[in-house]
């Protein structure tokens, strides 16, 4: 069965450093991969979508990579700030799919 | 635009009671879906709809009914609530019926079944 693993449940980093979150998937070949941010008590907020033919995508301090050979996506936040503290979710999906499946998330804490 | 609006924000039900969780969007999105989020389980898809009059089951549909009579509304019905349905429920919509577009989520309904 399809499986999505996000590297760790929690990640603590120092303010100003680059945070790197990992999303690994097995038993399928997604055409797209989405990343979301979720704050406590709130719904997820869409951040970035990367396609299988794109190696990298950037948005301000965010960068996402997609390695279909390794079956892995990396999500980077550069110059991290305490306001970046949240849970980050990845969601790979196949072409033509109507069902978006999420990983369990990584809780990022940026320490001042 | 209000985006995706969910009501109520909180609800306590007794086992066996029924209720409807409301979801409305004002973005003219064709695609809408319901997820539940439980500690340690992540977000799981309950039902989804690719347009008015069309619904389909997700990963965990048992105990839930949906209908889609208009583009704007996608209510989720619990016919006989069970403690296992205690969860946070999120409604999401998408401008494109595929997953090649970001989803917009509501702020959630926290449901407790006692």
pLDDT in tens, A44-101: 999 999 999 998 999 999 999 999 999 999 999 999 999 999 999 999 988 888 899 9
What is the DSSP annotation of A40-103? TTS--EEEEEEETT-SEEEETTEEEEEETTTTEEEEEESS--GGG-EEEEEEEE-TT-------
When CB atoms are compared, the residue of A44, A51, A98 closest to B105 is: A44
Give me the pLDDT at residue A98, please.
Answer: 85
Q: SS3 for B85? A: helix
Q: Which residue of A has its CA nearest to B58?
A: A99
Give me the pLDDT at residue B16, please.
Answer: 98
B90 touches chain A (CB under 8 A): yes
A77 contact partners, CB below 8 Å, separation of at least 6: A18, A19, A61, A62, A84, A108
- The CA distance from A72 to B110, in Å, is 33
E strand residue ranges, A1-44: 3-6, 10-14, 19-26, 32-38
Q: For B4-57, what is each residue's pLDDT tens digit? A: 999 999 999 999 999 999 999 999 999 999 999 998 888 999 999 999 999 999
Using an 8 Å CB-CB cutoff, list chain A residues near B45. 99-101
Give me the pLDDT at residue B76, please.
Answer: 98
Cβ atoms of residues B102 and A46 within 8 Å? yes
- For domain A3-111, the CATH architecture is Sandwich (2.60)
- The CA distance from A76 to A18, in Å, is 7
Average pLDDT over residues A37-41: 96
- Measure B37 CA to nearest chain A CA, in Å: 10
Using an 8 Å CB-CB cutoff, list chain A residues near B21. none
- Per mean pLDDT, which range of A24-33, B66-75, B92-101 is the poorest? B92-101
Average pLDDT over residues B84-101: 90
pLDDT grade for A40, boundaries at 50, 70 and 90: very high
Q: For A22-34, what is each residue's pLDDT tens digit? A: 999 998 889 999 9
Chain pair A-B, CB pairs under 8 angstroms: 67
Q: For A2-16, what is each residue's pLDDT tens digit? A: 889 997 789 999 999
pLDDT, chain B, mean: 95
């Amino acid at each position: 069965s399809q499986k999505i693993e996000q590297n760790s449940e929690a990640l603590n980093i120092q303010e100003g450093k680059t945070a790197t979150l990992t999303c690994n998937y097995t038993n399928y070949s997604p055409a797209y991969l989405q990343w979301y941010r979720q704050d406590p008590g709130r719904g997820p907020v869409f951040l970035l979508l990367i396609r299988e033919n794109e190696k990298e995508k950037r948005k301000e301090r965010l960068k996402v990579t997609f390695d279909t050979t390794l079956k892995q996506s990396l999500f980077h936040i550069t110059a991290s700030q305490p306001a970046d503290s949240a849970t980050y979710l990845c969601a790979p999906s196949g072409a033509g799919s109507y069902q978006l499946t999420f990983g369990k998330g990584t809780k990022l804490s940026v320490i001042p | 635009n209000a985006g995706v609006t969910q009501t109520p924000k909180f609800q306590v039900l007794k086992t066996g009671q029924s209720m409807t969780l409301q979801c409305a969007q004002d973005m003219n999105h064709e695609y809408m879906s319901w997820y539940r989020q439980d500690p340690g389980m992540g977000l799981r898809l309950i039902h989804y709809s690719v347009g008015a009059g069309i619904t389909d089951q997700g990963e965990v549909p048992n105990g839930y009914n949906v209908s889609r009579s208009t583009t704007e509304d996608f209510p989720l019905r619990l016919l006989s609530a069970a403690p296992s349905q205690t969860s946070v429920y999120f409604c999401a919509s998408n401008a494109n019926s595929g997953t090649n577009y970001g989803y917009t989520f509501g702020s959630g309904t926290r449901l407790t079944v006692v």
